[in-house]
Amino acid sequence: MKKWLNYLPTLFIITIVISLIAYSSTGNSVRMNYTEFQKLPAGTDFQDSQMTISSTVINVEGTYKNGDKTVNYSVLVPNTDENMAWLQERLTSDGGQITVEDPSTNGMWLSLLGQLIPFLLVGVFFYYMFTKMGGAGGSNKAFEFSKSKARVESNVKTRFKDVAGCEEEKEEVKEIIEYLRSPKKFTDMGAHIPKGVLMVGPPGTGKTLLAKAVAGEANVPFYSISGSDFVEMFVGTGASRVRDMFKTASKSAPCILFIDEIDAVGRQRGAGMGGGNDEREQTLNQLLVEMDGMEDNNGIVVIAATNRPDVLDPALQRSGRFDRKITVNLPDVKGRREILAVHARNKNLAPDVTLENLAKRTPGFSGADLANVLNEGAILAVRNKETAITMNDLDEAIDRVMMGPAKKSKKYTEKDKWLVSYHEAGHAVIGLKVEDADMVQKVTIIPRGEAGGYNLMTPREEKYFHKRSEFIAQITGLLGGRTAEELVFGEISAGAVNDIERLTEIAKNMVRVYGMSSLGPIQYADPQGNVFLGRDYTQGANYSAGVAEEIDKEVRDIVNSCHKECKRILTENRALLDLIAHNLFEHETLTNEEITNLMKYGQLTDPNAPITVEVVETKKEVVEQPPVPKTMDQKDINKALDELTKR
């Protein structure tokens, strides 16, 4: 019915147009009264006429000649014997014929309906417009607020092969798939499948994708809704939507009910500076009741996802509701390799692209980040009019995802360029000379985002636990840029603000969280804080002012000792610092291989590597260079630096 109402304005306009055309087509017809008909001249030439005789009047329709013009006429004549005789004589005087019709055959009801149709169309049109403006039918829409906004997919195409990098997480949900496929096996054994599964983890790790894969593998309907879809401005809307959602899902059981970002509605009740939100808490209460009131093994499995499990209400995570908690972490190098393989299925990669190397260059990347890297690489390949995605495109894509696009149009002054070159070279030297420091992959002085330069450093190997020496090495590496400025120019700039922020956080955590100081293995700060007041709002309230002073002293001692060590390393390797800085000033970007060659040979290329020279057409000749020492002493580095300066 609603579909046809949408076409009502068009039908109304068409009816009006047809009526106007019909009216214009009868424009030559003359409607006379009885007196006018009597006054027509005696010699009027009447042609064929039709008479419809009723009990009181005679309806006469026909044509007559008025000179060369034919006129259509109609007239009502009183029904008397005299008028009947007069009409027969008058209309047949010039050979005209009279046709008498029975009034019962005219379809009185059809005629009446024809007169009513225009009024009915006008009435329906105004009713349609009234309901659109929220009038008479607007009251019905009030009931739609209580309806669930959950979207359903009956035929989910996602499978486990589309989800990579989380093998352990897949194992945790296999029982749910088996239960949805054949629940009788579990009921016969007396087993109760978890009613709810809570997936937690950083953004972009594939929690939603994994939930869809569960529905796809089990071949059951997949209901999905966001936590923010429950709460509206109307009181009681969220609770009624929860009831309707479970009622609708029960009709399609077995099925998966997925609630994304459940922290929007599942926050701890009664928390915060201003108290709780009554409407949100009512919605949460109804959700708790529905999950607790669900019958065992009724076929509905609730899967929820969040990246803030610390704010959830404890009642939501108790047994009987969200029984199983699955942590979806950032992928390791093996997982990143598998994720890249999934997203590279439809990508045209060049032969020089190896997903293994790409996975090693992207530690800390989530599945969404890796998909974005490949997509950005494909966009860059199209922009450069290439036939395949090269490794250079993917290197640039990694930089764009981490720091933003390069601002090549931004030009440094010569003094600022030297400052940035030495700053980034300082980070690179510490990365080369400190054993536990992160490995330098790429150094550039081309501005990206808000950074004047960019130093890509990755861990030498991925670890789950970090030692104190590794934290010390990280702080020393972060101080490399600022210390290089101090050593070379005798002053410091504001370019190290992000480095200082990061190293301060590491030093504070070493003292207050990890117990890596002389204060002992005591935690002086809640690593989560009060999430409703701000993470740092209430930190420090659980220790005295004297302890706070000791914490500040320990943090300062750690940073000062790292600064002293950083200055010692850069002073001892001043020639290498100058060499890297000069090459950065000249070439603007250096790779890991080029930096290593500068440290070993004093130049960007390896002199021991065979050089391929093209001679005739496609033939190639390999010329072996004379061997040189594998390492260079300080004298050789100074010599190479002098030659570079002369150029």
Half-sphere exposure of 66 (CA within 13 A, CB side): 10
The CA-atom distances, in angstroms, between 15 and each of 111, 118, 595 are: 17, 8, 82
Residue 205 annotated as lining a ligand binding site: yes
Q: What is the crossing angle of helices 545-572 and 574-587, to 10°?
A: 80
Contact, 331 vs 203, CB < 8 A?
Answer: no
444 DSSP β-pair partners:
454, 589
- Active-site residue, from 424, 486, 565, 594: 424
Could you tell me which of 258, 309, 255, 265 has the C-alpha nearest to residue 288? 265
Residue 183 annotated as lining a ligand binding site: no
Q: Is 246 exposed, middle or buried (0-12, 13-18, 19+ CB in 10 A)?
A: buried
Cis before 309? omega within 30: no
Sheet holding 255-260, edge to edge: 151-153, 222-226, 255-260, 300-306, 196-200, 322-327
Contact, 480 vs 577, CB < 8 A?
Answer: no
Residue 306 annotated as lining a ligand binding site: no
Residue 202 annotated as lining a ligand binding site: yes
Whole-number Å distance between alpha carbons of 204 and 401: 13
Count of C-beta atoms within a 10 Å radius of residue 136? 10
Q: Which strand (E) or helix (H) includes residue 620?
A: strand 620-623
Residue 206 annotated as lining a ligand binding site: yes
Residue 620 annotated as lining a ligand binding site: no
- Is 424 marked active-site? yes
Residue 607 annotated as lining a ligand binding site: no
Which 3 state secondary structure label does DSSP give 510? helix
What is the DSSP-derived secondary structure letter of residue 330?
A: P
Residue 427 annotated as lining a ligand binding site: yes
Whole-number Å distance between alpha carbons of 211 and 158: 9
Residues involved in catalysis: 424
Q: Which residues are annotated as a binding site?
A: 201-208, 423, 427, 499
